[in-house]
Structure 1
Amino acid sequence: MTIDDLKAQNLILFEVISGSRSFGLATETSDTDIKGVFYLPKDKFYGLEYIPQISNETNDIVYYELGRFVELLLKNNPNILEVLASAPDCILYQHPIMQQLTLDLFLSQQTKQTFAHYAMSQIKKAKGLNKKINNPIEVKRKTVLDFCYIIQGQHAYPLTNWLNEKHLDQHLCGLVNVPHSRDLYVLFYDASGDCGYHGIIQHDDSTELCLSSVKEGTPVNAYLSFNRDGFSSHCRDYKAYWQWVAERNEQRYRSNIENGNDFDAKNMMHTIRLLQVAHEIMTKGTITNKCANRDELLAIKNGQLSYDEIINMAESLLADIETESLTSSLPEQPDSTKVLQILVNMRESLYNQYLL
């Protein structure tokens, strides 16, 4: 099914403007995000074609099947709670039956965890961007040779330096495992190439060292240690960095750089906003989507606050939320039995074509 199918079959129950426009944080370049709720025709719901959500290609427009919507509300999912709490001027359509799902049925102490968990994931993203911007990785990946060291006495010297100093060719080296030792090898060298040694690596893309057959009694040139864990870590970082480069929002990235930010300021703005919403839930038992502190939040988005200032603000909010939760009148969890009965009644009404 597609969004067009939902509209053609009159399956949409709820449709709202979400995101920055619903929070009062929209600027000239802001997109218009749409979220909503639909229900499946009876044959698809009872059959094998259950569809939990439908979206467009960019995920700017997302509709959740009624059961999935209620499931996420029971889990106190931050994004879905905010959809239910949409201000009247952001509601594009609301079927009368949706009036049965009210915010007070779902708000609970769980929000302390769900909002905080989501906020901390945003902080982690910001830290990841901070690391990527300040620690760019060269286009050419390092090779296994860059993680090999020659052992001499109590010291370890980079293999590449050792080879260069001695004017040796790694392809003329032969390696043999040292028994009972992890990633420790005996290194032999044959300047003539007559011994048929396989070298240390075959090519720059190699991920393993080569081993060779060496005659017993051949003089040892050195002992080599391979930092396998360091090489594996580098490969993971390399892949993650260049995948990020390929997929990043270039306009947003350039905006961060131009404002002197080495973190994603937009993510951090939403982190603070989410924590402020969680604080409102704990203290007032409700959600007000329209942000009263628009200027403060946009100042964060525009890079006017430092990373440390934002982190301190987030940590202070987290501490306040924890304190307020101790005296909050919110239940530990929503009354799932009551909510599920409402859901069943809603489906029965929809499938019987009875409009409340």
Structure 2
Amino acid sequence: MMTYTTLKEQREYLLLECISGSKAYNLQVPSSDTDLKGVFILPQSEVYGMDFTDQVANDSNDEVYFEIKRFLELLEKNNPNILELLSTQRENCLFRHPLMDLIKPEDFLSRLCMDTFAGYAQTQIKRARGLNKKINQSFPETRKDILEFCYVVQGSESVPLKQWLEAHQLQQEDCGISRIDHFRDAYALFHRYQFPRPVKLKGLFSGPDANDVQLSAIPKGVVPAAIMHFNKDGYTVYCKEFAAYWDWVEHRNEARYQHNQALGADYDSKHMMHTFRLLTMAEEIARYREVRVFREDRDFLLRIRNGEFAYDKLLEMATEKLTNIQELYAQSDLPERPDPVLTRRLLIKIREAFYGKKK
């Protein structure tokens, strides 16, 4: 079975190996790593067997290799990473088998690129908006409890439940609530001192991780001490945002986050740089029928990476580019999608040529 390790040991199955990422884009900085992408072909016995391997990678996922069938499948879908790999400049190609010359980028470029390049960039802009929100919001490590979202009626006004409890020197654990018919999220609130005989009241909620209030069995005939409203919708939204924020903190790229903090940028500047790179590449495909991996607009893109643009300005520029891209593709004579017959023929031709020499 082909693995990353066996491919490195059996390089005779390698068809293409290229430097990828920032160094291929001409966007490297001193801290940039060297990423590799490539294409391999399975030994003939594995193609016929049960253990077909379509992709291998190292543990850090900065070296990724695609089996020729998977490579052509993704190429037919106009996957940006695959089109970039096929169009990598010769000086960034560490190895290129002559059979790869059968696969020409211009045979696969189509209107799908508007969705895969510009559409993906548009998705990233939406993500950037969400990230912008997370960077500019902050939650303490301890989640607010339900009491923070409860209020009681006092005259013609409402007051926070915590304030009301403190004013009456009451503890929520000594209280109980029951539903009020036809009033959404409204409850009758009672305290144990109201009952002549001991009554077991559950308190207003079960604990700091509770997602809703809890009800108690209330004897009939007792007038409630207060009418309480629980802003359940507000609490639900808060809990989701709290969980999303701390999940982001846990999984964020800390080095990149600190880089953005040092720049004073309220967005992921590297992420936004690549968004604009994809948008411009989408334009170039429509205009020139080329995938230009090596970026001549390095200075502009690195200015984005360095946080030199305001977040709102970047969104304005991105929206303008997207409108322009839509117009370019509307006028383009690119085919709707690549020819699947060509893809199949290429795969057969490459396998027959390779296995004809290697058993």
- CA distance in 2 between counterparts of 1:169 and 1:232 reads 24
Paired residue for 2:231, among 227, 250, 253?
227
Query: 1:32: how far off?
Result: 0.6
Structure 1 residues 233 and 49: CA distance shift in structure 2, 3 A? farther
Q: Who is 1:260 aligned against?
A: 264
- CA distance in 2 between counterparts of 1:150 and 1:41 reads 73
Q: Who is 2:152 aligned against?
A: 150
- CA distance in 2 between counterparts of 1:131 and 1:84 reads 37
User: Is the partner of 2:335 in helix, strand or coil?
Assistant: coil
Residue 344 (str. 1) matches residue 348 (str. 2): yes
Residue 285 (str. 1) matches residue 289 (str. 2): yes
- CA distance in 2 between counterparts of 1:328 and 1:205 reads 56
Deviation track 1:202-235 (CA, whole Å, cap 9, x = no partner) reads 3222223221111100111222222223222222
- CA distance in 2 between counterparts of 1:184 and 1:45 reads 65
Q: Who is 1:187 aligned against?
A: 189
Q: Who is 1:91 aligned against?
A: 93
- CA distance in 1 between counterparts of 2:269 and 2:287 reads 27
Identity of aligned residues (%): 42
Residue 222 of structure 1 aligns with an amino acid whose one-letter code is A
- CA distance in 2 between counterparts of 1:46 and 1:344 reads 14
Residue 277 of structure 1 aligns with an amino acid whose one-letter code is M
Residue 327 (str. 1) matches residue 331 (str. 2): yes
- CA distance in 1 between counterparts of 2:247 and 2:353 reads 48
**Unmatched segments (≥5 aa) in structure 1:** none
Structure 1 residues 41 and 182: CA distance shift in structure 2, 3 A? farther
Residue 238 (str. 1) matches residue 242 (str. 2): yes
- CA distance in 2 between counterparts of 1:152 and 1:349 reads 85
Residue 287 of structure 2 aligns with an amino acid whose one-letter code is T
Contact kept? 1:105, 1:339, Cα under 8 Å: no
Q: Who is 2:5 aligned against?
A: 4
**Unmatched segments (≥5 aa) in structure 2:** none
Q: Who is 1:122 aligned against?
A: 124
Query: 1:237: how far off?
Result: 1.5
- CA distance in 2 between counterparts of 1:147 and 1:344 reads 65
Q: What's the Cα RMSD here?
A: 1.9
Residue 128 of structure 1 aligns with an amino acid whose one-letter code is G
Residue 114 of structure 2 aligns with an amino acid whose one-letter code is K
Higher mean alpha-carbon deviation, 300-309 vs 346-355, is at: 346-355
Superposed counterparts of 1:96-175, under 5 Å: 96-152=98-154, 155-175=157-177
| Alignment size in residue pairs | 355
- CA distance in 1 between counterparts of 2:246 and 2:110 reads 41
Residue 245 of structure 2 aligns with an amino acid whose one-letter code is Y
Q: Who is 1:275 aligned against?
A: 279
Deviation track 1:161-187 (CA, whole Å, cap 9, x = no partner) reads 222222221011111122354433221
Deviation track 1:138-194 (CA, whole Å, cap 9, x = no partner) reads 110111222222245664432222222222210111111223544332211113893
Paired residue for 1:36, among 38, 62, 68?
38
Residue 150 of structure 1 aligns with an amino acid whose one-letter code is V
Residue 110 of structure 2 aligns with an amino acid whose one-letter code is S
Structure 1 residues 185 and 46: CA distance shift in structure 2, 3 A? farther
TM-score of the pair, normalised by structure 2: 0.93
- CA distance in 1 between counterparts of 2:238 and 2:78 reads 38
- CA distance in 2 between counterparts of 1:150 and 1:323 reads 57
Query: 1:354: how far off?
Result: 6.0
Query: 1:71: how far off?
Result: 1.2
Structure 1 residues 85 and 153: CA distance shift in structure 2, 3 A? farther
Query: 1:198: how far off?
Result: 0.7
Query: 1:245: how far off?
Result: 1.3
TM-score of the pair, normalised by structure 1: 0.94
User: Is the partner of 1:185 in helix, strand or coil?
Assistant: strand
Contact kept? 1:20, 1:30, Cα under 8 Å: yes
Residue 339 of structure 2 aligns with an amino acid whose one-letter code is D
